[in-house]
Structures are given as structure tokens and as C-alpha cells.
Amino acid sequence: MASDPFSNAMAQLAQALKFLEIEPQILEILKKPQRILEAEIPVKMDNGITKNFSAYRVQYNDARGPFKGGIRFHPHTDLVEVKALAFWMAIKCAVVDIPFGGGKGGVTVDPKKLSSRELEALSRGWVRAFFEYLGPQKDVPAPDVYTNPTIMGWMTDEFSKLAGKWRPAAFTGKPEDMGGSAGRTEATGHGGYLVVDALAEKLKLEKNKTTVAVQGFGNVGYYIAKKLHDAGFCVVAVSDSQGGILDKRNHGMDPENIMHAKKAKGLIDGCYCVGTVCDCENYQKISNAELLELEVDILIPAALENVITLEVAKKIKAKAIVEMANGPTTPEADEILKARQIPVVPDVLANAGGVTVSYFEWLQNNRDEVWTAEEVLAKLKPIIENAFEKIWAMSQAKKVGLRTAAFVLALTRIIEAIKTRGF
Ligand code: NAD
């Protein structure tokens, strides 16, 4: 039975603290968010009835810079989940050494059940609820599960209206014609691809013989699958909330084709057609549970937290795991994977490409600059690769897992900032 995400986050913190000397006052700071904001957002629905939605913003730690982190719209989102995600954001920003702290937001809502007008009203309501605590030098939100550039555009517009001036640096992940960065949409997947590439080299895996399974086919899952396919890796299985498909030949599928088919049919299907060409025989339908247990080289959870539990960890046949979702592995599962010598590249490194390019977007907005996608991805590469090398080396030197190494690196930086600023 998996415990809640914040308990998992605190267990990960405790594990890393075994390798750090820390004053009790600083430990108290790290164990709690600096500020928790909650609001009920009223939205007049299309049927004329007003409905309230529970909304959150957790500002975990800003020792290294403004709070930074996405906003999740999901029916299961609650304060405990948002607290965990906010903590992981603080760690993540420190892992890649960008000048931000950690925060996260959310609304308990199934956005698939809202009309576009209702979704816009909810998004603008979120900004009005938390306005005084947001801003380019205070707290800079971004997209997360079931939020996207359109929503960030509405939020930036609402924030700017309330501020009485155009403030594009208040949100990242915006549409490009509103100051969004080229390359932001694909950034998390691209960063993940760089991590898989570096890991494959360490594990001496040959790209064109390396099989990969990806759970989740949204922004992150799609782009990492596409980037890996384009680079020559064999993506043999993908899934979304409704299930997935496995390439029975183990050749690898083209995620772009699968996305075309998903858009046409509304789900990932074992039989997909591009134009008049259909490919129905080579694919087998699989469940999300089956995907996690496939005999592949690299398993990539890219959907939600707590999917790799103790029981699942015992059955995993992959040689390595790269966490693109936040918090997909429970601490108990981590122990099993460690004992089974299956390396796990943690979320705070593997999916840090997104927040790094969010930082680039914030920089461009603050400096009135516009960078090309090529420039953005070229600047991302050394940041991710250096972080990976540092964490890999520390993991080898201290004989600890990659997650603990990443936490030790990040916590060292956060603690230093807390001390320098004074507390
Ligand atoms: P998204 O909304 O674009 O996609 C989510 C995907 O997960 C969809 O394909 C959905 O069908 C699938 N899904 C939902 N429930 C599922 C289930 N029970 N089993 C299998 N699949 C399921 O969201 P996203 O932005 O791709 O985020 C995915 C994960 O990556 C989240 O954990 C998020 O916090 C993390 N993340 C996202 C970013 C980013 O830049 N978007 C950055 C860092 C981390």
C-alpha cells in the first residue's frame, strides 16, 4: 500500500540527511512549506449555476530565489499532493542550479468535464485568488498535468490586468506569441532524452538495440518518446490513462504516428492508421500495469505519482528506470529496486528540463529577448548533462542511489542559501 506523496517526499529527505550535517533549525525549515494558500474559486457554469472549486498554492522554500512550480488541474489533486510537488520543485531547481525556490499549485477538478469558457473562468479565478503572492520576483507558476500554454496565457493576462501593466515573467509555459519560450513545450521531454542518452552510455547500451516503454502520453511522455525515437532508441510500448500498446516485433514505433491516431480516435489504440495506411497486426493492447512489467531496457513512468509500489518493484524487468513523472516511485519500492540493482534516475533530475527552460523563458521576458528553439535546447544540454555527471559521480563515490545523490547535491545548495540569507 503506497503512502501519501508528502510522506514519501519526507522519507526521501530523511534518507539524504544521513549524508549531511544539518542544524536542527534548518531541518525544521526544510520539513515544512513556508506558506500554504488555499481558496474556493467560484465559477459560473454554462448551466447558470455557480460551482466552487478547491484551489491551492504551496510556497515551499524561496531561499535560492522566487518560488517556482506548475499548477495541476486534476480530480485527485489535494493539498498533500501539492505540498509534495512543491518540495520536489525546491530540490529540482537546486539540482540544476537555477535561481529559483520551489512551489506548486493545483485545483481539484476534472478539466475534461469543463467547457473552454468554464476552464478560462477557473484559470482566471485561480490568479485572482492568489494574486498578491504571485509575480516575477515572488512566485512564478507554470503548466503541469492537464494545464497547458493556453491556460498560462489566460493566467498571464489576468495577472497583468490586476497589476495594471504587462507582466509576462509572472508565468512560464505561455504561448509563444505572448512571450512563451521557443522549445518550452518539448523541454521536459528533451531534458529526459538527454538523461536517457547519458544513462545508456554509462550502462553501455547501444541506442538502436535499447528498448524503452513509456507510461503516459501527454506533454512529457509524448516528447520523450519522440526524441528517443528520433535519436534511434526503440520505443516499444506507450500508454495513457485508458491503456496502451506494445510493439510485438520489438522494432520500435513512431510516436508521431501514434499521436496522430490518438488525436483521431481519442485513445491509444492497438490498430492505428495514418492516411490510408493502417498498422493493425503488429500491436497488442496492454494495460498500464502490464506496461510497467515489460521486459525492456528502460522504463519511463511519465504520468502520475505512486505507480511503482513495493509490489510493482518486485516484478519490474527493466534494466533501469527514468522518472519523468514526479514521484512515481514509493520509498519502499526504491529499496527493492536498490537491492535488485536497478538504477533509478530520479524525477528531480530526469524531468528538470522543463523548469530549466521555464527559467530561460523568465530570463527572456525580463531582458526583453527572444531566443530560438535551437538556442534554448543548446543552452539546456550542458545544464542537464553536468547535473547528471555530478549526481552519477556522487552516487558512485558515496555508494548511494541516484535519488539520494541528487538530494544531497540539492540540499547542500539550499542549506547554503538559507545560511547565507540568514534565518
Ligand atoms: P499531461 O496532462 O500532458 O499528460 C498526462 C498523461 O498521463 C496523459 O497522457 C494521461 O492520459 C496520462 N495518465 C493520466 N492518468 C494515468 C494513469 N493512471 N495511467 C497512465 N497514464 C495516465 O501532463 P504532463 O505535463 O505530461 O505531466 C506528466 C508528469 O510529468 C506529471 O507527473 C508532471 O508533474 C510531470 N512533469 C511535467 C512537466 C511539464 O513540463 N509538463 C515538467 C516536469 C514534470
Catalytic residue list contains 138: no
Q: What is the pTM of this model?
A: 0.95
pLDDT digits (tens, 9 = 90+) for 375-397: 999 999 999 999 999 999 999 99
Distance from Cα 202 to the centre of ligand 1, integer Å = 27
Query: For residue 394, is it within any domain?
Result: no
Instruction: Evaluate: CB of 215 within 6 angstroms of ligand 1.
Output: yes
Quick one: which atom of ligand 1 is closest to the CA of 326?
Answer: 32
How far apart (Å, rounded) are the C-alpha atoms in residues 331 and 334?
Answer: 5
Q: What is the pLDDT along the chain (423 residues), one digit of tens a residue?
A: 457 999 999 999 999 999 999 999 999 999 999 999 999 999 999 999 999 999 999 999 999 999 999 999 999 999 999 999 999 999 999 999 999 999 999 999 999 999 999 999 999 999 999 999 999 999 999 999 999 999 999 999 999 999 999 999 999 999 999 999 999 999 999 999 999 999 999 999 999 999 999 999 999 999 999 999 999 999 999 999 999 999 988 889 999 999 988 988 888 876 666 666 667 778 899 999 999 999 999 999 999 889 999 999 999 999 999 999 999 999 999 999 999 999 999 999 999 999 999 999 999 999 999 999 999 999 999 999 999 999 999 999 999 999 999 999 999 999 999 999 987
196 & 155 share domain: no
Give yes or no: residues 200 and 264 share one domain: yes
The CATH number given to whatever domain includes residue 95 is 3.40.50.10860
Domain carrying residue 244? 186-345
**Distance between CA atoms of residues 35 and 175, nearest Å:** 29
Q: In this structure, what CATH number is given to the domain that contains residue 327?
A: 3.40.50.720
Residue 313 and residue 195 share a domain: yes
What is the tens place of the pLDDT at every residue in 182-236? 999 999 999 999 999 999 999 999 999 999 999 999 999 999 999 999 999 999 9
The residues facing 67 across adjacent strands are 139
Is residue 94 domain-shared with residue 228, that is, in the same domain? no
111: cell is 478539466
Q: Residue with the nearest Cα to atom 41 of ligand 1? A: 144
Residue 161 domain-assigned (yes or no): yes
- Which residue among 96, 172, 291, 304 has the greatest number of ligand 1 atoms within 8 angstroms of its CB, and so is best to mutate? 304
Q: Which of 168, 201, 218 finishes a domain?
A: 168
Structural domains counted in the chain: 2
In a domain, 420, yes or no: no
The count of other CB atoms within 10 Å of the CB of residue 218 is 15
238, 152: one domain: no
96: Cβ contacts below 8 Å, ≥ 6 apart: 349, 352, 355, 356, 383, 384, 387
Please work out whether the CB of residue 105 comes within 6 Å of at least one atom of ligand 1: no
Structural domain ending residue among the three candidates 290, 319, 345: 345
Cα dihedral across residues 103, 107, 110, 116: positive or negative = negative
The end-to-end CA distance of the chain, in Å, is 38
Q: Does any ligand 1 atom lie closer than 6 A to the CB of residue 148?
A: no
Which of 135, 168, 201 represents a domain boundary (last residue)?
168
